[in-house]
Structure 1
Amino acid sequence: MSYLKHILIAAAVLVSILTATTTYAYTTVPEEMIPEDAAEPDMSAVTPVTEGDVTYLTGGIGKAESVAMRGNAKNYALEIVFVEKSGALEEYLSEVKLQIIDSSKNTVLDIDTQGPYFLANLPQGKYQVSAEYNGVVKTQLVSVSKKKHSKLIFWWRMAE
């Protein structure tokens, strides 16, 4: 009987681990997370900014701007999305402190985002991307190349 009990416990642990990792494994933002306050793509409020060798867009507040940012993502080497999660509820974030550091430890960009999407054309190379929201810093590494679009999603758990 204890052998069966151990198998059931191991199966339950495996299911919970698989559930936890698949929750964060996808790299696309589900359509239901896009706000429904507008229908037509509109990039008029979002203007590309150039700082040094980096040209970027930040925005995506409202459905129109969000759809436009998503549609424009293919024109940029790097796409980043910021999301807060509480149980099954997921919300986009803005005003995330974003810092990008190159492989030589030089700060390439240090900004506060204006919406849940950040699109950038950076020189080809490897970067450390740090995002801070509500005092919690998340860091990911990314390789940027002209041949491949890279996408990062930063997730924070909502404080309960």
Structure 2
Amino acid sequence: MSINAILGQCSSIEGPEKRLEEHLILVDDMRIRLGNLQEYFNQMQAPQRPIMSPDEIRDFLARKFPELVAEKHNDPDGWAFFLGPAQQEPSSNCIVRAAQHSQGGTQFELSVSSRLERTEKMVMFCGNEDALRQVVDAQLRIYRDHL
């Protein structure tokens, strides 16, 4: 077992070695991108209109992001959205998930940020279509840049 750390990256077999400075630039870039997501998180949590159901989120994402593939999930009922055909861990291409919350409303997971930060990024979704579009755009950018 090992812990991934910047200093251990010089022994990577996945590509050319990077200098410490290059790794620090990537870390700083990731902090900026993930920090900007907090604004979108806040938009999603502020009630603005009737709450979108997981099925309404699926319909919206199908129209605005045709490259995403929706996969039905149960327990809780909802949808996972993948960039292309679904791939599971460790190289999952899941971008976001929307599920019916047990106490009502829609629970939303930022799957890319959850994987990168190694912590679950879940919110109750109360935002509008614009907030949803911005969050999914941000998750797609982060996925393409870092995974």
**TM-score for the superposition, normalised by structure 1:** 0.31
Larger C-alpha radius of gyration, 1 or 2? 1
Which structure shows the higher strand fraction?
1
**TM-score for the superposition, normalised by structure 2:** 0.32
Which structure shows the higher helix fraction?
2
